[in-house]
Chain A
């Protein structure tokens, strides 16, 4: 329960209709896309301007009430679950494109804009904004920035952090800050823009973002290569990059995923393949043709079983369907789908997939793996049932071991989904005790009273490292 004086103040700031503390509002802001997490906030507020955000923050910091900023709640790390109660701030009303600067090729947007709406608009003007998380039809630019989301185009074009060049943000105190600007070069002090990107709503509330746009590629080609040998597929990935080709997309599906996808989408995929690579190259037509030809030769050298290059856009779409249906197909298998996000150096992909498969057998849980081979970002995905507590326990153990394996192979515990609550107990494994201290120090400077998204990123306790059983 919030202090009535505070609720009155919040109502006065945003108007009666835009502050709610009825049960309906609380329940529907108690979850996000992460399975099995839920906690009720005490209120929900929908600001429409930076000034309102600032005023809200001033009021909340006076009462020391926590705040969780929320886009569409599509994150998969518990990032918007209000574990310590407080107020959820929904950014949806702040959804305007504020400025399009065609001279500097930048766009300035409010955080609540839906990513796909932004991308479509930009593309209709003949420009290109590459970050394309699979959730872009629902996720917001603000959520993308806070999680530093990446997508299928990440390998060649980078992720959200490579396109955010300026931010306006509100601190826990209610102060408004501006970082960066329409500048491609800016070394005035620490890079606060980059620090806020990926800060998961724990350092400041982003209220405006200036994004870099680039010219779109002129053409695109798509191919699918299937391998009986996992290491053949993995070597192909390394060989492509070694030969100095950076494909626009380089996606991977393992055998369990292939089976599920084929069963769902009836694409006639061969079920005895160990791996499928989906490869796209874009750019000038001559370069694209040359690259694709070279990639085809590499695939052949690494004994790809079949190689298909799409002749038309429709055919390409058909090939893309396989990868796109992976999530949908897996989601239909069992009630609870846990999509994780372990990342390894790309030379270690085959080893990682092997390890995941062994771990899944060891704990007797179903885990299929697909993901972005080009950048080593794998999505081991468990299909299970939240009501089966015994099985869920085994799934948790399996994932703990998967994270440990990723780190052992020189990887990380999350490549794009963020730490949130889910990965918080493992963060120290990755960055070490002194890394933790440094990060906590930064948090303290921005948010001394720990009001912004508390309980995220930093866990009360670090999980003890499991002993990896190589048997």
Chain B
């Protein structure tokens, strides 16, 4: 039985406040009504857990959105801050009995806020630069990668750190600079070409979603993803025309920009007519599987977006459900040293793509690996896109608790399924590690590495 939403009455209020007007227009009033305020989402929410106060909870935030729409309160600074305080981890969704689409509500709220925000000129400049000028443009990303790589390898980084010039930047940015991996202008296509055959009889033809940052900062992971897919029996194509997924845009209230990017991707992938579209970053994947929602109401794109969304799958899940699990599963022959491994969930992989068990199943099959589940692995690490840069205090608090749980596992490796989480966990190890070496790796890299050791 489908939820009947025969009455989609929004209150007829002519708000004097322009932001309230936009919020009333953009918020899905049905979803606001669906929240029955049962409070089941409270214990799942990291910001509620850290603070223990109702406004920092999903139920509280929904009540605030509804209060503004209903004209019970003006959307003041505190309201904006509260909307930005949400991590967008969406841990509140799977536990909600009423199936409230909280993720959509928070994006709509931020979108409305963004429409009316007057950023200070430098912030406006940076937002514009990144959202419009960088992420969507492959070449610019590449040259950014090149510059960053030059900075990192030429000795400039040493100089910068040595002279203390980094101290001019705010701390969260300095923290990030330290843990950024080496960038490259050599993305996955430059390294492997656009088509990669399957090993053995092909099971299916899949397209790789390479991501934007992913292909600059984690090109190696993209390469390993393709090779792993090939080992497992998939033929991989990588369309060069694809663009950024738009997740950072959508989460930051730039929904229109996100939609534009989505249209490009839908078109590019649709032409390939592949069986699956594979993502290896939970954050990107979660938006990709919701392209149908994102483009909802756009008649011209409805059907194609639904086609796209229905084919998106995370690499781990594809391997578990359809792949031929490669040889790393055979214990006897492996030369790899025995290690303890733990896994930090990517919230979006778990709560939106609902594929949290697949990486664990894979890890459990690797020879000489003891998988040690950490307490509250399903709780956000505080990375949440660019949250750790915009809300450093809360992010830091969450990370500290996270590392308490990591440290007791005795793990040598922390595996993740999303670049943001990976960087955040690196930061965690650096700031709160126990001193023993802990490496943070993408699941794909770990699996592929073990596979190679096995071959050796």
* Chain A residues within 8 Å of B, Cβ to Cβ: 22-25, 27-35, 40, 46, 72-74, 90, 92-93, 114, 135, 137-138, 260, 263, 327-328, 331-337, 385-388
Contact = CB atoms under 8 A, between A and B. Distances in A.
Given A27-B64, A332-B3, A387 B9 contact: yes
B33 A386 contact: yes
B7 A388 contact: yes
Contacts of B5: 335
Interface stretch (B76-84, B128-136, B204-212, B351-359): B76-84
Interface in B1-40: 1, 3-7, 9, 30, 33-34, 36-40
Given A32-B37, A35-B36, A24 B78 contact: yes
Contacts of A386: 33
Contacts of B72: 27, 40
Contact of A334 (B4, B54, B63, B64): B4
10 closest A-B pairs by beta carbon, nearest first, are A328-B97, A28-B54, A28-B60, A331-B97, A331-B98, A335-B33, A27-B67, A28-B55, A23-B73, A138-B39
Contacts of B60: 28
Nearest to B57: A28
Given A25-B55, A337-B98, A137 B40 contact: yes
Contacts of B52: 92-93
A25 B73 CA distance: 11
25 contacts: A23-B73, A23-B74, A24-B64, A24-B73, A24-B79, A28-B57, A28-B63, A33-B37, A33-B38, A35-B36, A40-B72, A46-B53, A73-B37, A90-B53, A138-B38, A260-B1, A331-B36, A331-B99, A333-B4, A335-B3, A385-B6, A385-B33, A386-B33, A387-B7, A388-B7
Nearest to A35: B36
B326 interface: no
Contacts of A336: 33, 36
A29 B39 CA distance: 12
A46 B52 CA distance: 10
Contacts of B34: 335
Given A33-B38, A33-B39, A28 B98 contact: no
B73 to A, nearest CB: 5
B3 A333 contact: yes
B368 to A, nearest CB: 30
Contacts of A388: 7
A263 B33 contact: no
Given A23-B73, A138-B43, A387-B7, 8 more contacts: A23-B79, A24-B64, A32-B37, A137-B43, A328-B97, A331-B36, A332-B99, A335-B30
B56 to A, nearest CB: 9
A57 to B, nearest CB: 22
Contacts of B63: 27-28, 30-31
Nearest to A18: B53
A124 B281 CA distance: 38
A-side interface mostly: loop
A90 B38 CA distance: 17
A387 B7 CA distance: 7
Interface in B46-104: 52-55, 57, 59-60, 63-64, 67, 72-74, 76, 78-79, 82, 97-99
Interface residues of B, number: 37
A22 B78 contact: yes
A148 to B, nearest CB: 19
Contacts of B82: 24
Contacts of B7: 385, 387-388
A34 B36 CA distance: 8
Q: Which of B37, B38, B43, B67 has the most CB of A within 10 A?
A: B38
Q: Which of B39, B59, B74, B79 has the most CB of A within 10 A?
A: B39
A23 B42 contact: no
Contacts of A34: 37
Given A23-B73, A33-B38, A28 B64 contact: yes
Contacts, number: 103
Contact of B38 (A74, A333, A385): A74
Nearest to B42: A138
A332 B100 CA distance: 9
A388 B9 CA distance: 9
Contacts of B42: 72, 138
Nearest to A34: B37
Contact of A72 (B1, B39, B98): B39
A33 B82 CA distance: 22
Contacts of B64: 24, 27-28
Contacts of B73: 23-24, 27
B429 to A, nearest CB: 29
Nearest to A139: B39
A331 B39 CA distance: 13
Contact of A263 (B1, B36, B54, B76): B1
Contacts of A73: 37, 39, 54
Q: Which of B3, B4, B33, B67 has the most CB of A within 10 A?
A: B67
Contacts of B57: 28
Q: Which of A29, A35, A334 has the most CB of B within 10 A?
A: A334
Contacts of A74: 38-39
A93 B51 CA distance: 10
B33 A337 contact: no
Nearest to A46: B53
A118 to B, nearest CB: 14
Contacts of B33: 335-336, 385-387
Contacts of B78: 22-24
A393 to B, nearest CB: 14
Contacts of B37: 31-35, 73
A336 B99 CA distance: 12
A207 to B, nearest CB: 18
A23 B4 contact: no
Contacts of A22: 78
A387 B66 CA distance: 14
A334 B36 contact: no
A332 B40 contact: no
A137 B43 CA distance: 7
B97 A327 contact: yes
Contacts of A334: 3-4
A226 B23 CA distance: 49
A331 B54 CA distance: 22
A168 B9 CA distance: 48
A386 B37 CA distance: 13
Contacts of A138: 38-40, 42-43
Interface in B135-192: none
A376 B303 CA distance: 51
Contact of B1 (A33, A46, A137, A333): A333
A103 to B, nearest CB: 31
A135 B57 CA distance: 17
A238 to B, nearest CB: 32
A33 B98 CA distance: 13
Nearest to A37: B37
Nearest to A332: B99
Contact of A332 (B9, B55, B97): B97
Contacts of A387: 7, 9, 33
